[in-house]
Amino acid sequence: MLNVNQLDVSYGASQALYNVCMSAEVGKVTCVLGRNGVGKTTLMKALSGHLSAGKGGIQWQGKSLNGIAPFDRARQGIAYVPQGRDIFAQLTVEENLQTAFSALPKSQRRIDPEIYSLFPVLQQMLKRRGGDLSGGQQQQLAIARALLLKPKLLILDEPTEGIQPSIIKDIGSVIKLLRDRGEMAIVLVEQYLDFAAELADEFIILERGRVVAAGAGSELASSQQAKELLAI
């Protein structure tokens, strides 16, 4: 279980998150919603360890993550798929997948064939360079690379951004399947209410760095407040 408690995060003198509280449970999707610039990515970077927490704390499986580097969080089962995907353009698909190995013990350094049943396109494109893939294929590659870590917490920052509808649907199906297996907690950042409403078990909405709404995913589709906050 992930617990974020009264978290503040700043960029130098500029505070981006104020008193944020949220949690994420294994077997559930927790959606983080909000318009551009409200602090969603800042929150994800604080979870993954790429930004340090100011006041407040982040606990994972009962232990504080404060001061723990991203690499060590990955070893503790926290996998982060950043916005923009961070694929290595010059490396092949296979080599991109293999970059996950550095966080794994030697005995687990192999590409689980299950990755190809989740994302068949990757198997067809193993020898292609990452930079030659479409945005949607790169997103699938980034998620596959994160899954090789066998995460207990999967953090997905706007996986649907700039991606064609058919691949958005495929990614939604994979997220559901992973959730239903009950082996990991999933934190999903989204701007699209429809996509979030279909997947969310729980949600929070951020506005100017603060949590301004939270609740069960089942309430999202009919929430007037969510529509207003997301300016739909």
Ligand X SMILES: Nc1ncnc2c1ncn2[C@@H]1O[C@H](COP(=O)(O)OP(=O)(O)OP(=O)(O)O)[C@@H](O)[C@H]1O
CB of 186 to ligand X, least distance (A): 18
Residues 86-145 that bind ligand X (CB under 6 A): none
Closest of 178, 204, 180, 210 to residue 190, by C-alpha: 204
Kindly state the smallest distance separating residue 99's Cβ from ligand X, in Å: 24
Q: Which is nearer to ligand X, 162 or 182 (CB)?
A: 162
Spatial contact of 32 and 204, defined as CB atoms under 8 Å apart: yes
- Nearest Cα residue to 230 out of 11, 66, 36, 1: 36
Nearest Cα neighbor of 188 from 204, 210, 177, 173 is: 204
Task: List the interface residues with ligand X, window 3-32 (CB under 6 A).
Answer: 11, 14, 16
Q: In this structure, are strands 153-157 and 185-190 parallel, antiparallel, or unpaired?
A: parallel
Binding mask 27-46 for ligand X (x = CB under 6 A): -------x-xxxxxxx----
Choice between 45 and 111, CB closer to ligand X: 45
Token pair, residue 85, equals 């995907």
CB of 63 to ligand X, least distance (A): 25
Q: How far is the CB of 35 from ligand X (least distance, A)?
A: 7
Which residues contact ligand X by CB under 6 A? 11, 14, 16, 34, 36-42, 83
